Amino acid sequence: MQKLVFSGLILLVVLFTTELRVASAGWLQAHATFYGGSDASGTMGGACGYGNLNTDGYGIKTAALSTALFNDGKSCGGCYQIVCDANQVPQWCLKGTSITITATNFCPPNYALPSDNGGWCNPPRPHFDMSQPAFEMIAKYKAGIVPIFYRKVGCKRSGGIRFTINGKDYFQLVLISNVGGAGDISLVWIKGSKMSNWESMSRNWGSNWQSLSYLNGQSLSFRVQLSNGKTLTANDLAPSNWRFGQSFISKVQL
């Protein structure tokens, strides 16, 4: 009997130490729900502009962010580590688990009762509407919504950064995806082979950046700066015979 009591005390100390470590390591509190179906097919596309999340390098470990986190699209591509708060809802959390997700969508405000997903995405709530498979890696499906701890972390990607060029004539709309490191982009520049200087691009929406120069017939280079200030350059990525609708994968990555 004494042995069982002693073992129980050790378990309590371990659980308390784990909770204390999470609470003291720069973690923040929020809530998480899920959407998109058991195969995450309903998460494809979204407010960041990514198309097929599998080909764009993000897979099923994704989430739509509430207004407080989405930051008008500036958070697109960023990665967050999420842990279910088992101290509050031990019956719903999968203890000892965590997941790193990528921000790929926006969870819009819906001024309804905060008992539904839309209500939880109302400002100023920090909220993650995760893909269902991602949610079920940290919590039980029946929970529906759980309190969580989260923190911003670096992104790990395979292959190079992907640039997809859309638009027409004097309008280039470039979708930038599969970005490692900080993941979220703060500045982008473009340079045609006939240009002497780099031209600053502006964010159109999500992870789509625009240029209003006529760049047809020129090879294109891109420079990207992430939210942590790190910058990389993909020189002569698109050949001079590039066409709208094409994607090009760089040899550079963070």
Query: pLDDT of 52-106, one tens digit each?
Result: 998 888 999 999 999 999 999 999 999 999 999 999 999 999 999 999 999 999 9
User: Which helix (H) or strand (E) segment is 11 a member of?
Assistant: helix 2-23
Structural contact between residues 134 and 62, judged by C-beta atoms closer than 8 angstroms: yes
Rounded to two decimals, what is the model's pTM? 0.88
Q: Is the pLDDT of residue 113 over 60?
A: no
User: What's the CATH number of domain 162-249, 3.10.310.10, 2.60.40.760, 3.40.50.880, 3.40.50.970?
Assistant: 2.60.40.760
> Which of 157, 159, 158, 191 has the alpha carbon at shortest distance from 174?
191
Residue 45 per-residue DSSP state: S
Domain assignments of the chain as residue spans, ordered by start: 28-153, 162-249
- Is residue 167 over pLDDT 90? yes
pLDDT for 56:
83
Class of the CATH-defined domain 28-153: mainly beta
Share the mean pLDDT of the chain: 89
The tens digit of pLDDT for each residue in 146-160 reads: 999 999 999 999 999
Pick from 102, 101, 104: nearest CA to 45: 104
Please state, for a pLDDT cut of 70, what percent of the chain lies above it.
87
**Going edge to edge, which strands form the sheet with 185-192?**
231-238, 220-226, 185-192, 199-205, 208-211, 171-177, 162-168, 247-249
- The answer to whether residue 9 scores a pLDDT higher than 80 is no
Distance CA(162)–CA(159), nearest Å, equals 9
Strand partners, 191: 221
- pLDDT given at position 14: 40
